[in-house]
Amino acid sequence: MWKVKKFSQLTLDELFKIYQLRCEVFVVEQKITLQDIDDNDKKVWHLFLVDDDNQIICYGRIYEQTNYVTFGRIVVKRDHRGNHLGKNLVENIMNLIADKYPKKEIRIEAQKYVEDLYTSFNFVPTGGIFLEGGVEHIKMKHQPFIK
């Protein structure tokens, strides 16, 4: 079941499972050298999928900046990859943004190896490749949704 919650709406168990999944993928698998938990976690929309065993199997966070909206911390649990969950997650994120922030441009810093996923949602690169936490990233943007 997909869930969308603000920080104050998360249960302690949900918050623990979100941090556990992010640590499992970003720290252990990808060996990213930046602090994963940050103050943005307190002001974002947390979007996640819970399986039949009540485990969080994919996650992303969405938040508004002054002139745009962004999302990140896109993660799918290792043993659930290859089932289009990443694409389904981004689709749900885009729907939430279209509903909550329809007139805002979307800007992201995507990991380079998943650039094609974002171009399939009409994101376009806006700069060169850069390193973030030891992983290649690329800045991308998407035009605002028209309602």
DSSP string, the chain: -EEEEEGGGS-HHHHHHHHHHHIIIIIIIS---S--S-GGGGTSEEEEEE-TTS-EEEEEEEEE-SSEEEEEEEEE-GGGTTSSHHHHHHHHHHHHHHHH-TTSEEEEEEEGGGHHHHHTTT-EEEEEEEEETTEEEEEEEEPPPP-
Domains of the chain, earliest start first: 2-106 (3.40.630.30)
What percentage of residues in the chain have a pLDDT greater than 90? Answer: 81
Predicted confidence (pLDDT) per residue in 106-121, tens digit? 999 999 999 999 999 9
147 band by pLDDT with thresholds 50, 70 and 90: low
